[in-house]
């Protein structure tokens, strides 16, 4: 799981760095064009140079990397921490505050290194000189305003990304699913155990809070195993993978083990907060579905096909059989492990022919695939 988290962090850092390098290059291009009357060219850091354009490129790269790193760390370890999930307004305020503090500290540190005695007097640090210095740097103030504006654009995009999913935004912009396409996908239906009794015990407000925390914790596993959240349906969450992604290191099944591990780790919190320890049952199936972009006022990518119905029926059957997770034969035949137990053939609701059903015995160890005998 740590490898998946690290890969996602590196990918987010690289994307953020490219964006911020572009914004910085754009700023310096505007400065170079509009400030032709400066006899001494000055960058936002106050560095005198004869060739502002060249120094601006170097500065843009340095600041792009620095701001990209700060933004990624802020988003991954503060905004997206397990129990601290602020509203979009507070996310925006926190991001801007951290970014402005970083810019000011970076600017002052660089100036202090090049002019170590500027802010000091016989009485120590000179705060009035410090304030006059900051306020007198018009280019720096202009740069901060520009960065805040750019940060607003980035934060709005991140909010859209959280609400719709990165794939949703990409596919809608590219128009990939404007025409129905057939593709092989894996679907997992995760459903909360004892949801009716929990709702009666907690009341609808606290029950909604419980679901909110549960889905937040499941999202950590979703990120780690590169799954896509297709739908939230009441106390159920529907996950999906492209078939090629689902069986890399058995992601589609290891995600379920990770969900169990997360709730076992956080059981003290749930017991103290709600008086219950949530657990989930799952149904897993793969096959061909038709993917298409639907909607006008609200767009989304919809999947149509018997695969979803079968995965849902397997999840419902898991409650009847008392099993944690049920899988179809198609899924088991693609897993890199022998740790599956055959349960028999069952007539799933809505299916004309019986389905072979399997469950897991132990966590998968990513062994070489061996065909299972029914």
Tokens of 40: 């001494």
pLDDT value at residue 110? 64
Return d(Cα 54, Cα 365) in angstroms, integer.
53
Q: Residue 327: which residues within 8 A CB-CB, separation 6 or more?
A: 253, 283, 284, 285, 314, 340, 357, 358, 359, 360
Q: Which CATH superfamily is domain 175-360 in?
A: Nucleotide cyclase, GGDEF domain (3.30.70.1230)
Neighbours of 179 (CB within 10 A): 8
pTM: 0.70
pLDDT of residue 153: 78
Tokens standing for 227?
A: 């799954």
- The domain segmentation of the chain, as residue ranges, is 2-164, 175-360
Ranges of residues in the chain with a pLDDT under 70 are: 1-8, 31-56, 75-89, 91-92, 107-140, 158-175, 337-338, 362-374
Residue 331 pLDDT: 92
- The confidence score (pLDDT) of residue 239 equals 95
Q: Pairing between strand 124-125 and 181-192?
A: unpaired
Report the candidate in 262, 261, 242 with the shortest Cα–Cα distance to residue 252.
242
Strand partners, 238: 189, 231
Half-sphere exposure of 107 (CA within 13 A, CB side): 20
Mind listing the pLDDT tens digit for each residue in 34-65? Answer: 655 444 444 444 444 455 556 667 777 888 88
Grouping H, G, I as helix, E, B as strand and the rest as coil, residue 247 is coil
As given in the structure block, the two tokens for residue 243 are: 């078939």
Q: How many Å apart are CA 209 and CA 273, to the nearest integer?
A: 10
User: Tens digits of per-residue pLDDT, 205-251?
Assistant: 999 999 999 998 898 888 888 888 888 988 999 999 999 888 888 88
- For 289, the token pair is 């579905």
The 8 Å CB, 24+ separation contacts for 363-366 are 363/254, 363/257, 363/339, 364/250, 364/253, 364/254, 364/257, 364/335, 364/336, 364/337, 364/339, 365/337, 365/339, 366/249, 366/250, 366/336, 366/337
* CA distances for 302 relative to 74, 132, 308, angstroms: 33, 58, 11
pLDDT confidence of residue 310:
92
Joined tokens for residue 167: 């794939």
Q: What is the pLDDT of residue 225?
A: 87
């Amino acid at each position: 799981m740590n490898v998946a988290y690290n890969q996602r962090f590196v990918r987010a850092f690289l994307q953020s760095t490219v964006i911020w390098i572009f914004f910085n290059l754009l700023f310096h291009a505007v400065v170079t064009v509009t400030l032709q009357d400066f006899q001494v060219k000055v960058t936002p850091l106050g560095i005198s140079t004869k060739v502002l354009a060249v120094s601006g490129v170097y500065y843009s790269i340095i600041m792009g990397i620095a701001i990209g790193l700060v933004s990624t760390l802020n988003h991954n370890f503060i905004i997206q921490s397990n129990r601290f999930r602020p509203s979009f307004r507070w996310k925006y305020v926190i991001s801007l505050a951290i970014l402005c503090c970083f810019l000011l500290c970076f600017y002052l540190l660089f100036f202090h290194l090049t002019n170590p005695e500027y802010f000091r007097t016989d009485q120590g640090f000179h705060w009035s000189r410090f304030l006059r210095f900051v306020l007198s740097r018009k280019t720096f103030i202009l740069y901060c305003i520009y960065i805040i504006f750019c940060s607003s654009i980035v934060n709005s995009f991140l909010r859209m990304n959280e609400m719709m999913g990165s794939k949703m935004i990409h596919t809608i912009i590219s128009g990939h699913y404007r025409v129905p396409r057939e593709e092989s996908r894996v679907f997992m239906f995760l459903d909360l155990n004892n949801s009716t009794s929990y709702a009666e015990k907690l009341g609808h407000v606290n029950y909604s809070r419980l679901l909110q925390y549960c889905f937040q914790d499941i999202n950590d596993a979703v990120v780690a195993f590169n799954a896509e959240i297709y739908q939230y349906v009441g106390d159920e969450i529907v996950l999906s993978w492209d078939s090629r992604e689902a069986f890399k290191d058995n992601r589609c099944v290891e995600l379920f083990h990770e969900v169990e591990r997360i709730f076992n780790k956080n059981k003290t919190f749930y017991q103290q907060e709600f008086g219950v320890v949530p657990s989930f049952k799952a149904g897993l199936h793969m096959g061909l579905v038709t993917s298409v972009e639907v909607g006008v006022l609200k767009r989304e990518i919809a999947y149509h096909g018997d695969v979803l119905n079968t995965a849902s029926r397997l999840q419902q059957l898991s409650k009847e059989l008392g099993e944690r997770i049920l899988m179809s034969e198609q899924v088991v035949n693609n897993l890199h492990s022998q740790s599956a137990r055959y349960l028999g053939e069952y007539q799933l609701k809505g299916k004309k022919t019986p389905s072979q059903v399997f469950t897991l015995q132990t966590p998968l160890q990513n062994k070489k695939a061996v065909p299972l005998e029914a």
